[in-house]
Amino acid sequence: MNGLTGVRSLTTLPVVTLGGDALAHVRDTVFDTSAGRIASFTLTGRTLLSGPLPRDLPWPAVHCLGPHAVMVRDAGALCDLPPSRAHRDAVRGRLLGAQVLTDDGEAVGTVLDVLVESGTSGRLAAFRLAANRELVHGSRHRRHRVYVPRGEALRVTGRALVIPSHARTYVTDDLPAFVARVGERHARGREVAS
């Protein structure tokens, strides 16, 4: 698994060509929730005070997602887009602030951030939640900021994230421990597949 990047930190990242030309900045990340990956980015101009661009950056045109920039091969990576569609796509793919529910209907928190794999995959890896006390037993933090792996999500829409009731076993408030748990889970999955 590549490094994990929070979607909140992607906002305002520059979009840069491999030749070093700055083309735009990321405004919003649009998800394809059924595929569990980034679908595209809506954009603003090259300066941070610029308004929205009538263009977007589809994920297949991304060369690499790094910690300091979204890299593309050249300016041809950006696609013209009617502003109404850009707004609709951004709203449809927005997960931040979505309510988190268990499959038995219990509200357990809200999505604070979405962690995606850096590099070339763009896969949605996990959710950072502002969890209700009921979700985390024995949490060390009053605010109950926890992580839940994407694999535990049954359904993700712009309005709700539904997780199974047993997801409590995967919840942690410690990011390094969370990354280790996800790594162990991936390793077990590879062993079973062999």
Query: Based on the domain organization, do 88 and 131 belong to the same domain?
Result: no
pLDDT at 68: 92
Domain of 161?
99-193
Q: Which residues of the chain have pLDDT under 50?
A: 1, 138-141
CB burial of residue 71 (10 Å; 0-12, 13-18, 19+): middle
Total domains, the chain:
2
Instruction: Count the helices and strands in the chain (H runs, E runs).
Output: 3, 14
Q: What is the pLDDT of residue 136?
A: 53
Q: What pLDDT score does 65 carry?
A: 94
- Same-domain check for residues 44 and 125: no
62 is a domain residue:
yes
Q: Is the pTM of this model over 0.85?
A: no
Residues 84, 136 within the same domain? no
Q: What is the pLDDT of residues 36-84, one digit of tens each?
A: 889 899 898 887 677 888 888 999 999 999 989 999 999 999 988 765 5
Q: Tokens 């979700």 map to which residue? A: 135
**What backbone phi and psi angles, to 5 degrees, belong to 189?**
-65, -40
Contact 126, 149 (CB under 8 A): yes
Spatial distance between the Cα atoms of 178 and 176, rounded to a whole number of angstroms: 5
Distances (CA, A) of 130 to 107, 110, 149: 11, 5, 14
CA distance 77 to 61: 5
Within 13 A of 92's CA, how many CA atoms are on the CB side?
A: 14
Contact assessment for residue 160 and residue 102, using Cβ atoms and an 8 Å cutoff: no
Q: What pLDDT sits at residue 59?
A: 93
Please report whether residue 60 resides in a domain: yes
Q: Find the helix or strand (DSSP H, E) in which 62 lies.
A: strand 62-65
The pLDDT score that the predictor gives to residue 13 is 92
CATH of the domain at 71: 3.90.50.10
Is residue 2 included in any domain, yes or no? no
Please check whether residues 80 and 159 belong to one and the same domain: no
For residue 104, the model assigns a pLDDT of 86
Average pLDDT, the chain: 79
Residue 120 to residue 60: CA distance in whole angstroms: 9
103 and 188 within one domain: yes
